[in-house]
Amino acid sequence: VNPIAFAGQPLDRADPVRSDPERLAALRADGALLLRLDGLLPELDEAGGLAFAPVADAAPGAELVFLGLRAGRALFAAVPGEGDPDPAYAHRRTWGAIAQLPADDLALFGAARSVLDWHARHRFCARCGRPTAPAKGGWQRDCAKETGGCGAQHFPRVDPVAIMLVECEGRVLLGRQSRFPPNSFSALAGFVEPGETIEEAVAREVLEEAGVRVRDVQYIGSQPWPFPSQLMIGCLGFADSLELAIDKTEIEDARWFTREDVAEAMAKGSDSASFVPPPPQAIANHLLQWWLER
Ligand SMILES: [Zn+2]
């Protein structure tokens, strides 16, 4: 089984270092490395892994984020001039650049991409509109009173998304959106809204999209998804009826698939007759594998 893409961060995030400017400066002067990026795309070394340069190579005045420690050595990345203008699903170019990265590098890149993109898109205070500056090694932005700001502190976003399998009479409910490749089906998903538990978000999304009432929601596992900063929260819930009422404004189709359908799809991929499963880097693929094996 593949490791969950973007999970398994290899760096020591070293939180005490973030809030200690002197220690951070000492680490920076002691052989620290800079993640080499072209905008928000990684540059690769000869072995196909992430490439690094001496931190002194960073552009003068660049905002640096302290990514963490690897074997005692500090790794940094520079905030690009622009954040990502594309929606979460439009990342074919990025996938081309990162598909072959080792799992450790993928996790390191994912965390860096999320926090760098956040910096690039949050240069101004959401409260008073004045420019903000990185703090805490790049894991915070401050609207400092000393420079005329309002004193607000801003933190990198993580946006929770519930993604769920629903089971009824031994079948599993999957859906597709019109932008999916032909015959592709995946787990239903949606952002958790303010004031909701994860379980409530699962029940609401499945009712909204497929008209199915869900009970007994349980947590399976999660995945950081850096396009730009989702946390995919994988769940399983149960339904008492196979009846569907699909909201075509949310999804194109939803169907119940048997265990045999899912086993065939997972084994054959796009050659499968029943449906094309989600790609191996998606948590939906892991959820289906888990469902087959339980
Ligand atoms: Zn402010």
State the distance from the centre of ligand 1 to the C-alpha of 135, rounded, in angstroms: 14
115 CA distance to ligand 1 middle (Å): 20
pLDDT tens series, the chain, 294 aa? 578 999 999 999 999 999 999 999 999 999 999 999 999 999 999 999 999 999 999 999 999 999 999 999 999 999 999 988 777 666 777 888 888 999 999 999 999 999 999 999 999 999 999 999 999 999 999 999 999 999 999 999 999 999 999 999 999 999 999 999 999 999 999 999 999 999 999 999 999 999 999 999 999 999 999 999 999 999 999 999 999 999 999 999 999 999 999 999 999 998 999 999 999 999 999 999 999 998
User: How far is ligand 1, taken at its centre, from the CA of residue 145, in Å?
Assistant: 8
Q: pLDDT tens across 5-34, in order? A: 999 999 999 999 999 999 999 999 999 999
Q: Give the pLDDT confidence score for residue 85 in this predicted structure.
A: 78
Are 65 and 138 in contact by the 8 Å Cβ rule? The answer is: yes
CA gap 116, 103 in Å, rounded: 20
- Give me the residues paired with residue 53 across strands: 34
Distance in Å, CA 146 to ligand 1 centroid = 11
Residue 140 CA, ligand 1 centroid: distance in Å: 13
Neighbours of ion ligand 1 (CB under 5 A): 125, 127-128, 143, 149-150, 152
- Residue 8: count of CB within 10 angstroms of its CB: 13
| Residue 216 token pair | 């007994």
Compute the distance from residue 31 Cα to the ligand 1 centre, in Å.
Answer: 35
> Which tokens in the block code for residue 246?
């699909």
Contacts for 8 with CB less than 8 Å, ≥ 6 apart:
103, 104, 107
Beta strand pairing call for 215-225 and 64-70: unpaired
How many residues comprise the chain?
A: 294
Cα–ligand 1 centroid distance for 130 (angstroms): 6
* Residue in the block written with tokens 């029943």: 274
How many Å lie between the centroid of ligand 1 and the Cα of residue 83?
21
Question: pLDDT at position 89, please?
Answer: 67
Reported in sequence order, the residue ranges of the chain that DSSP labels E, i.e. its strands, are 33-35, 37-38, 41-42, 52-54, 64-70, 73-78, 133-135, 140-142, 153-154, 159-168, 171-176, 188-191, 215-225, 230-238, 253-257
Expressed in angstroms and rounded, the spacing between residue 68 Cα and the centre of ligand 1 is: 28
Residue 154 CA to ligand 1 center (angstroms) comes to: 9
CB count in 10 Å sphere of residue 169: 10
Q: How far is the CA of 151 from the centre of ligand 1 (A)?
A: 6
Element spanning 167, H or E: strand 159-168
Give distance in angstroms: CA of 120 to centre of ligand 1.
17
User: In this predicted structure, what is the pLDDT of residue 17?
Assistant: 96
Global pTM exceeds 0.85? yes
What pLDDT is stored for residue 56 in this prediction?
95
**Ligand 1 center–CA 143 separation, angstroms:** 5
In this structure, what are the phi and psi dihedrals at residue 178, rounded to the nearest 5 degrees? -65, -25
DSSP bridge pairs for 174: 255
CA-based max dimension of the chain: 64
What are the pLDDT digits (tens) for 204-246? 999 999 999 999 999 999 999 999 999 999 999 999 999 999 9
β-bridge partners, 78: 64
Q: Residue 73 is encoded by which pair of tokens?
A: 């050595």
CA of 71 to the centre of ligand 1 (A): 37
Distance, CA 155 to ligand 1 centroid (Å)?
Answer: 13
